Amino acid sequence: MKPSRPESETRLQGIGVSPGIAIGPAERVGKTLEEPEHLTIERVDVEPERERLNEAIIATREQILALQQEIASDDGENHSAIFDAHLLILEDSSILNEVIRLVETERRSAEWAYYTVSKRYIDSLRKIADPYLRERAVDIEDVAKRLLRNLRRDGDADDDGLRPAQPGTSILLAHDLTPSDTVGLDRTRVKGFATELGSPTSHTAIMARSLNIPAVVALHDLPEEFPAGDQVLVDGYHGLVILNPSAATLAEYDALIEREKTVLTDLEPLRHEETRTADGRKMVLSANIEFIEELDAIVSNGAEGVGLYRTEFFYLSRRELRDEENQTENYRRVAEATAPHGVIVRTLDIGGDKLCPELFEDPEPNPFLGWRGIRLSLDQPDEFRLQLRAVLRASAHGKIRLMFPFLSSLEELRGAKTQLELAKEELRATGTAFDEDIEVGAMIEIPSAVLIADHLAREVDFFSIGSNDLIQYTTAVDRVNDRVAHLYQPAHPAVIAMIRETVDAAHRNGIWCGICGEVASDLLLTPIWIGLGVDELSVGAAQLLRMRRAISRLDSSRCRSLTDRLRTCGTSAEVVAECEVLAGDAYPELLL
């Protein structure tokens, strides 16, 4: 049973997907797809019903196109691509044929038929473990809601029932918000939102981040009813939602908001500065992206290039996206937008929790130890070379580096480089331009790669440490298993030793070493990376300026003394305690 309205302050823990704090009167909105009445039609009404469906499709298409245009002119075409996906769903023949069959043979009303078919797709997508595919359910639901509203005989199609109805409402509490709900939010009114569903990789979360709206998702205890106008606090930093916050909580957060404002104003001038430690050591501060939509946010926050471009999206979303031309164009745009620094494109890292159903019909017993990353690419050389050609072709237009994920052996690196040479040959044969000297990097995220790092380093131009996986494989803790989440410890002395060994091996062999996993964004651990001599940190957009400031306050020799002391630490707690002293001393205002 879900809780009903809370009487006093109630704290709910979810996942913060867009940082910031918003407080205000809230409203519970956005029910999931509503089931229409089960109406049947007469035989003579079949044709008019089909006609009605057609008209609703046309009206829906027009609304999507209008929304797409509105967003494109508003946001520089950033989010409009999502609506291409909606148009494809709207015109998807397998959905429409099934709907028409239900109208013709079972004599269901168009509403009931459309609801039945789309609901089936939504439910089966929601059962898939892969978060990217689960998110596609949101797109289908979005289109279905819009189409059903257009079919409603009595309804006002413009009233989508998802915007706050109460004047003054500034926080939305919803079962879920679709991407078009999110971009359609009245940003002058809505200051934050919280949803029961959702994940950090959802379009909705990405948009919330680039629209700068604090948001928390995956709140399983959100009450079904919440009196309109009652206060809610959304803490996007900590993934916390507080219903009816007490006076003491409000005062505490007021102070935090004031502090945040001062900090952000103070960080502004850093946007255009280089990243240097207090004693002048230059570091590269780049950003991670997964979607081209994130480019604006990272460029405007002063990223020195993209340190990790995850490319799974091309393979987990619509098939057309994998097309060589599309990938080339996409990489070119990222390289141009991030000039002169450029982008590190990581080749496909499908597998683990990112499963692509056409490749994984039979589930693997241990997907994180199975067919993943470079293993899969080497087993599918044609697909692999398609991506390599796209990266190479784009490299003629801007600075692009290439990096291979999930390497566990030298043979795999050599196999990948052989495919790269073949891809180059293919391009030369057609006279296609590319950067002949494209730099190649190895992701170090498996302990065996750390232990042969000297060998790997002799055959690549750089290392990038994938700490998310390195932690999971070093400590045998599944990174997506809630039950063992407390054992997933970035500051585990064994993890620090792995990273130390990787950086040293890189430097012994004259190459640079970066970190692109989440630990790179952890302000508490920054002194360690400086002390170990890490050359590049690739972080999330929201963390860029804070990280630049933190680095500017740290002195390399103090950080080196810290990392020397860490050799004697046997537990994460000891490591964290050492870092707290240094970080707390250097930039207390940045540590929330």
Residue nearer to ligand PEP on the CB measure, 214 or 405: 405
Catalytic annotation, pick one of 86, 492, 513, 516? 516
Tokens at residue 589, please?
A: 């205002």
Residue nearer to ligand PEP on the CB measure, 237 or 368: 368
> What gap in Å lies between CA 463 and CA 295, rounded to an integer?
23
Q: Which does 235 bind (CB under 5 to 8 A by kind): Mg ion, ligand PEP, none?
A: none
Q: Specify the pairing of strand 215-217 against strand 282-289.
A: unpaired
If binding is defined by CB under 5 A, does position 141 make contact with Mg ion?
Answer: no
Q: 50 with 103: CB under 8 angstroms? A: yes
Residue nearer to ligand PEP on the CB measure, 180 or 475: 475
Q: What backbone phi and psi angles, to 5 degrees, belong to 216? A: -130, 135
Residue nearer to Mg ion on the CB measure, 27 or 469: 469
Inter-CA distances, 181 with 121, 138, 139, 162, 520, Å: 20, 11, 11, 7, 32
Return residues touching ligand PEP (CB under 6 A): 308, 310, 349, 445, 466-469, 516-517
Residue nearer to Mg ion on the CB measure, 20 or 352: 352
If binding is defined by CB under 5 A, does position 445 make contact with Mg ion?
Answer: yes
Q: Which residues pair with 276 in a beta bridge?
A: 282
Inter-CA distances, 495 with 67, 124, 527, 564, 571, Å: 47, 38, 15, 15, 11
> What gap in Å lies between CA 550 and CA 528, rounded to an integer?
12
Q: 131 with 199: CB under 8 angstroms? A: yes
Catalytic-residue membership of 203: yes
Q: Which does 467 bind (CB under 5 to 8 A by kind): Mg ion, ligand PEP, none?
A: ligand PEP
Residue nearer to Mg ion on the CB measure, 57 or 374: 374
> What gap in Å lies between CA 191 and CA 18, rounded to an integer?
12
User: CA nearest 260: which of 586, 17, 522, 21?
Assistant: 21
Q: Which does 413 bind (CB under 5 to 8 A by kind): Mg ion, ligand PEP, none?
A: none
If binding is defined by CB under 5 A, does position 312 make contact with Mg ion?
Answer: no
Give the x-and-dash track for 18-57 against Mg ion (CB under 5 A): ----------------------------------------
Instruction: For residue 544, give the amino acid letter.
Output: L
Which of 111, 294, 469, 535 lies at the binding interface for Mg ion (CB under 5 A)?
A: 469
Cβ at position 458, least distance to ligand PEP in Å: 23
Which of 30, 342, 466, 540 lies at the binding interface for Mg ion (CB under 5 A)?
A: 466
Peptide bond into 340 cis (omega under 30): yes
Cβ at position 566, least distance to ligand PEP in Å: 21
Length of the chain: 592
Q: Which does 308 bind (CB under 5 to 8 A by kind): ligand PEP, Mg ion, none?
A: ligand PEP
Count of residues in contact with Mg ion, rule CB under 5 A: 3
Catalytic annotation, pick one of 203, 341, 397, 492? 203
Q: 538 with 464: CB under 8 angstroms? A: yes
Q: Which residues are catalytic?
A: 203, 516
Site residues, Mg ion (CB under 5 A): 445, 466, 469
